Structure 1
């Protein structure tokens, strides 16, 4: 299994790299430089060659930003990475600030009056630039696009090569729909927008549309590429020739032309006089600038593949079910290990993460993890997206909690699951808080809702049991998940933040309420679930959607205070555990199987 870039972090990066970048900035007449985490494809997870923020600062989280002025610099991270960023970044060279609440834009408002601050238009979307331009204007500074990124110039010969992992077909038995059919659908959607063509820059959309997968991005099977899709379904796919396997041209068919990435600028220029659909929230500003300069009419709209990709077809849903049964067996072996061996040996977080990965690898079907495993012991579990890094690794301790969040990439589905486990005998307080989180989790798992309802409208259901006792959590309740694609996928989500996308049949989302007591421990319960078709409820008037649970892994019974559950909630837990036993039990043997049978027995009344 490949290791992530953050295994080789170096807090001295700032001292070594900042002077080099500032020298290149000066050579371009710049007083500052914006450094987003995102790359040319707006990826969440990056190949090493594109992780400019990590090279500059040492910070390797999946969300962040940086900014450099001639006399000061800053790095921004959200609450998921508050521990990690301090472990990886030298505070004597970078001010460490929050990414949340317009962090970078707010900082930009303090830029020196008259400063010229560079940005790479290949790394920022037009939507992202809007607030940054507003902030610079407020400061009396100017944002200037650069032709050559000062970080790339400073990185020089030491920069890793761009990835060239082979691009392979993703067979119809996994995708459920041929690429030609998808391209016909997307072509019709492009025409409906009044466009002649669409430019696709998101690797996940390209992977989905052409039924291909790659290995350019760790934790996500993506090929880095771009495409121009016409309203008739014909397409030009811009892909490094070194990635093209012998079988790929035949797989793509005659209506798809394979071209080198170097041909893309001229191809965009060739769209002169045509209407071109492109997503201002996902595609870099460079494409908009190029199309407008070429004389094309830019039609701003959502990536036409985003919603079809999010709505899984029956083959993809069944594939996800099978992936979760397979993953559930690995998880159950891991949970058995935690409840037995680990209770005696008290391993550290890295060993815990590697053990879970080993159980997944033993399925024989694991292609990669779906993200770096989160294993938080005691106080580290109170950091929602903590990852074990050398300065902060802890051993589990009796009387505390262990939170583990991980997932796998399988050809038939992507998994993501969190379980919280007691180490030793839990306290009454720990059981109470776990059960309040469980009550919210059950509310989200069992809700019925009419067509048109968004995740934003459902979010409070998972929080009410906590709210009623004066508690809350500071992250979303659910994110979309791809089909052997990204573990984080839009446009759907369940969150306090407003979101206008209704939940549709076939969308897969996480259900992950939590509670975090800073300095002590954290609790999160996460399963994936798929939106079911609307059905008439007996005696009701309108058809209602619901959720089918996909994740199959037992809850820690020691942490459930049964007295706090209603009869319906107890029935849900028993039914869920019965489902886990019926589907996962046959895949286990020996002590692990006996343990799972006990773990899935009905709750004591």
Structure 2
């Protein structure tokens, strides 16, 4: 910082692709601070370092960072511009790596700093890399073909469809920077990132449908090259900057996901840049019939694994188990169902660990189970034909009375969202309150979104749609989202119930179009924490119908004690 005449440096969680997960080589924030959450950033000055995190990570952050050196900063309550204005003198210089920040992010921060005299300085070299002596090498995971039968459309058809849109918009090309967009577009899957089957790459799609793919050429064997065809040209990562310099415009870049550096390279070359959405994002989110069929098949197999896990758990003495024991059991049962990988680090939080929203059990934190605990199980699998994400909360032994009210409120919110009917044009921001209403009536809430988009045999977190107060993306048929309200009492317990749901056409009066949701997840919801008297008749009807569907779907693939458990767990609520 002193050599570069900088007063501060921003260290984001992001890599050059702005993904939620980063390779070890790009985990700069974790290396510098010790914080391993999936969102956040640090601002380092000569005498202090603030680590900015949202409500999901406030408990986790305090357990991971050295509070003698790093200061937790609640974000977005405290904006980085406000923090910098207090921390730095007039005329302060703040360095940032333009490959690790989007144009939207930098423009917003520059606007907020306008009256402070503080300047953002784009750096040629990352300052963390300069002091990271044992930085890991970039990932070199193999690439595989994602069959057209599962994708429902060939890569050539997808390229042609997106190229037609570019031409109609008067754009000569688009830069794609999101690996899941590129993996979807080319019907390929990779292993560069654990749990996310993407190929770390950039791509330039022209209005002719030709595509330049910037990735490690060594990953693509003859079969893959034949799959991609002669109109896809594979180039090394480091050829991107020169290719952008030579590109003829107009070129579309997404200011919300493309690196600031890409904008600067094109602008310096005099190329016309058009700000617009990644052309693959919406088509990828609207799953076709083949993708939905694959997702339903994956959820069926995943439901079998989850039932076997919950039946096994009910047969155990909790005191004989730890969180890691249950994680290993679940992952083994998913392997029996053919997973390629888990879809994210399994969250297995017993008692107070369940109150840590994105808890990850380690040997250091591994808690032994105990009667009276709630066990929060949030997990998922990556199958060849689909991606799953499910959360169930189960009591160990007799249910604790103080959890019954919050659990019932969470369940009612999940049911309300599952049953929602709404006109076209409605966004997740309009629907978020449906899942929170019963918690709000008790003066309770949760500090995370209600739902995120989910990819089809891709990333478990996918844009652009979500169910959140800040979402402004209209929901469309084929979009898959999570439905996961929760409640967390720090130091005591956590509750979350999560199903995946798909947007579908719904019945409506003539001349009006309505949408609704169909549930993909197949697994009983524990009823021991339900306050039956608090449920409405509609709540009971939905839960009984859901459990009947689960029983009918999964019974043929279960036997013995597992089948007996499923039968008992799916009895109509009035008969329990």
TM range, normalised to the smaller chain?
A: over 0.9
CA contact 1:207–1:222 (8 Å) conserved in 2: yes
2:220 to 230, 239, 244: 244
Provide the C-alpha distance between the structure 2 equivalents of 1:269 and 1:449, rounded to a whole number of angstroms: 46
SS in structure 1 opposite 2:213? strand
2:452 to 472, 475, 479: 479
Provide the C-alpha distance between the structure 1 equivalents of 2:112 and 2:431, rounded to a whole number of angstroms: 34
Q: What is aligned with 1:317?
A: 292
Q: What is aligned with 1:500?
A: 472
Q: What is aligned with 1:121?
A: 98
1:293 to 233, 258, 268: 268
1:90 to 50, 58, 66: 66
Provide the C-alpha distance between the structure 2 equivalents of 1:390 and 1:144, rounded to a whole number of angstroms: 41
| Offset of residue 89 of structure 1 | 1.3
In structure 2, stretches of 5+ residues that fail to align are none
Q: What is aligned with 2:22?
A: 46
Q: What is aligned with 1:526?
A: 498
Provide the C-alpha distance between the structure 2 equivalents of 1:138 and 1:65, rounded to a whole number of angstroms: 23
CA contact 1:34–1:66 (8 Å) conserved in 2: yes
| Offset of residue 171 of structure 1 | 0.8
Q: What is aligned with 2:242?
A: 266
Residues 71 and 301 of structure 1: is their aligned pair in 2 closer, same or farther, counting only changes over 3 Å? same
CA contact 2:319–2:371 (8 Å) conserved in 1: no
| Offset of residue 203 of structure 1 | 0.4
Per-residue CA deviation, residues 520-562 of structure 1 (Å, 9 max, x unaligned), is 212111000101124336xx76332111110011111212222
Structure 2 residue 405 is matched with structure 1 residue 432: yes
Q: What is aligned with 2:534?
A: 564
Q: What is aligned with 2:45?
A: 69
SS in structure 1 opposite 2:422? coil
In structure 1, stretches of 5+ residues that fail to align are 1-24
Per-residue CA deviation, residues 273-328 of structure 1 (Å, 9 max, x unaligned), is x2000000001000000000111100001111110000000000010000000000
Residues 541 and 198 of structure 1: is their aligned pair in 2 closer, same or farther, counting only changes over 3 Å? closer
Provide the C-alpha distance between the structure 1 equivalents of 2:38 and 2:19, rounded to a whole number of angstroms: 9
Q: What is aligned with 1:353?
A: 327
Deviates more, 1:579-588 or 1:96-105: 96-105
Residues 182 and 228 of structure 1: is their aligned pair in 2 closer, same or farther, counting only changes over 3 Å? same
Residues 541 and 565 of structure 1: is their aligned pair in 2 closer, same or farther, counting only changes over 3 Å? farther
Residues 102 and 202 of structure 1: is their aligned pair in 2 closer, same or farther, counting only changes over 3 Å? farther
Structure 2 residue 525 is matched with structure 1 residue 548: no
Deviates more, 1:131-140 or 1:557-566: 131-140
Per-residue CA deviation, residues 185-218 of structure 1 (Å, 9 max, x unaligned), is 1112212332110001110110011111111111
2:2 to 10, 26, 36: 26
Q: What is aligned with 2:382?
A: 409
User: Structure 2-normalised TM-score?
Assistant: 0.96
CA contact 1:84–1:389 (8 Å) conserved in 2: no
Root-mean-square deviation (CA), in Å? 1.7
Q: What is aligned with 1:600?
A: 570
1:81 to 24, 35, 57: 57
Structure 2 residue 442 is matched with structure 1 residue 469: yes
Provide the C-alpha distance between the structure 2 equivalents of 1:412 and 1:51, rounded to a whole number of angstroms: 29
Give matches, 1:95-494, under 5 Å.
95-113=71-89, 114-156=91-133, 158-272=134-248, 274-343=249-318, 345=320, 347-363=321-337, 365-494=338-467
| Offset of residue 407 of structure 1 | 0.8
2:550 to 551, 560, 580: 580
CA contact 1:509–1:529 (8 Å) conserved in 2: yes
Provide the C-alpha distance between the structure 2 equivalents of 1:339 and 1:453, rounded to a whole number of angstroms: 41
1:536 to 503, 508, 517: 508
CA contact 1:166–1:245 (8 Å) conserved in 2: no
Residues 137 and 542 of structure 1: is their aligned pair in 2 closer, same or farther, counting only changes over 3 Å? closer
| Offset of residue 351 of structure 1 | 2.4
Deviates more, 1:108-117 or 1:586-595: 108-117
| Offset of residue 429 of structure 1 | 3.4
CA contact 1:228–1:236 (8 Å) conserved in 2: yes
CA contact 1:54–1:60 (8 Å) conserved in 2: yes
Provide the C-alpha distance between the structure 2 equivalents of 1:31 and 1:515, rounded to a whole number of angstroms: 41
SS in structure 2 opposite 1:222? coil
Provide the C-alpha distance between the structure 1 equivalents of 2:5 and 2:45, rounded to a whole number of angstroms: 12
Provide the C-alpha distance between the structure 2 equivalents of 1:154 and 1:139, rounded to a whole number of angstroms: 30
CA contact 1:481–1:509 (8 Å) conserved in 2: yes
| Offset of residue 224 of structure 1 | 0.8
| Offset of residue 517 of structure 1 | 2.2
CA contact 2:319–2:370 (8 Å) conserved in 1: no
SS in structure 2 opposite 1:165? coil
CA contact 1:109–1:135 (8 Å) conserved in 2: no
User: Structure 1-normalised TM-score?
Assistant: 0.92
